[in-house]
Every structure is written in C-alpha cells, then in structure tokens.
Amino acid sequence: MDKTYFQELTAYIIETNKIICVWLEQLDNNQWKQTITSSFDSIEKTTLHLVSAQLVWIDYWSNNPAPVFLSTVFNGGKAELLTIWRQSSTLLKMVIDQYPEADYSKNVRIKWGTEFYELKFWQTFAHFVNHSTYHRGQLVTMLRTAGFRSLSSTDLFNFFLQRGNYD
C-alpha cells in the first residue's frame, strides 16, 4: 500500500460525502427526523454518527490528545451538520496527504468506550472506509424509506470507472 492507495480511497470518501450531502439538503425536516429502523433511528442520527466518526478518526490520526465524539455534544441543525461534514472532508484530505508512508504500519492509539487500543494506521483506515460505506448504504435505504428517489450509485467501482482508474 502506497500513498496513492490511501489518497484514492480518500477521494472516494470525499466525493461520496458530497453526493450524500446534496441529497440530504433536499430533505424536509420531517424526512430528516423521521423514525426509521436502522443502526440509528433517523437520517439525522445516522448522518451525525457518520460525521462524528470521520472527525474522531481524523483526531486519532492527528494524535489529538483529546478526541471529541461530535455525536455527544452536537445540538445544531441539518445545515450546520452538513457544513461540518464538508469541512471535515477537506481536513481528511489534508491529514491523509500529509500522513507519512513510513507510518502506515505504525500503531494509532484509539479509545473505544473506556478502553484504549492500538491498531496499525492502515487497519484503522480500512475500518474507516468500510464503516463509512456501511452507514452511507444505510442512508440510501433510509432515504428511500423517507420517500427520496433522486439517488445515484455511490459504489467504489463506479467511482474508479468515472475517474478512469481502470488501466
């Protein structure tokens, strides 16, 4: 795994986040807050979880001594949350672009609940990509349930095809 690999996956995450944000902006407040059975019980809460997770991983990779789970402190509305998501996507790109290749196999210290763990950077990044893809997939199903139909593919395969990365 080289830097290009991580940068390509980061570009995928960022592009897909942008697409999802455009969809979410079109929802009315009832759709945003509607109770829908999933890992989190609304589009709002699922989105907050996604943004919170992205921010906390950025904190871990940046060795922030006091990572904050946004989901425990956020009281804003949809527009503010989507702004934070877009800003954190820009920050994600900066962190990955600057992350030293020599550190891909070094441990990242994380707190999970009350316990501390260490995993290699590449393992945490793989988890991050998988986790965000999983919850974005849930958002697609929740959006359909809420009556939103203007969806398109956010699949990694299509992302690579659109970028011409299939030599």
How do the domains of the chain map onto residue ranges?
Answer: 3-163
The pair of three-digit structure tokens given for residue 81, joined into one six-digit string:
């949350």
pLDDT band at 45 (very low <50, low <70, confident <90, very high): very high
pLDDT digit string, tens, across residues 113-159: 889 999 999 999 999 999 999 999 999 999 999 999 999 999 999 89
User: Cα separation of 149 and 90, whole Å?
Assistant: 28
Q: Does domain 3-163 have CATH number 3.30.70.1350?
A: no
| CA torsion angle 42 43 49 54 (round to 10) | 170
User: Cα separation of 113 and 28, whole Å?
Assistant: 34
pLDDT for residue 113: 82
Does 49 appear as a known binding residue? Answer: yes
Average pLDDT, the chain: 94
